[in-house]
Amino acid sequence: MPLSKGKSREAISKNIKTGMKEGKSQKQAVAIALNEARKAGAKIPKKHRK
């Protein structure tokens, strides 16, 4: 899947929109986009479960 590389808000939102266009759920698209941003060096903490 052609996701844009980057850690900016624009890159993350573009990746979310791309994922949702491909038929993924919103939660799944957000997770994939944030994972790409983390790979690019963004300091986004992982979600902690209770």
Calculate helix-pair angle for 9-21, 26-39, nearest 10 degrees: 140
pLDDT tens-place string over residues 12-49: 999 999 999 999 999 999 999 999 999 999 998 887 77
pLDDT of residue 46: 82
Taking a C-beta distance cutoff of 8 angstroms, is the pair 20, 3 a contact? no
Domain ranges in the chain are 9-39
Task: Read off the pTM.
Answer: 0.83
